[in-house]
Amino acid sequence: MVTLLFQGTIKGNLKPEYFAYALIVSVAFCMWAIVDRKFRQLSVARQKNSLGRMDE
């Protein structure tokens, strides 16, 4: 997104639609990464719990 802003400043043709699209896509990917990280942590915790039960 910073690259898009930088390029638009240099060329002077940054359309607000492109910047808004880049902002929305960046937020979507950020949310996806946060949710993915949370579920991976839960999955690892569940695997550790199930392995702990198998050892008993």
- 12 Rama sector, left if φ>0, alpha if ψ -120 to 50, beta otherwise: left
Q: Could you report the per-residue pLDDT of 5-31, keeping only the tens digit for each? A: 777 778 777 778 887 888 899 899 999
19 by Cβ neighbours in 10 Å (0-12 / 13-18 / 19+) ranks as middle
5 neighbors 15 (Cβ within 8 angstroms): no
- Residues 23-50 have a mean pLDDT of 88
For residue 35, what pLDDT is reported? 95
Tell which wins on pLDDT, 19 or 43: 43
Pull the structure tokens for residue 55: 């050892």
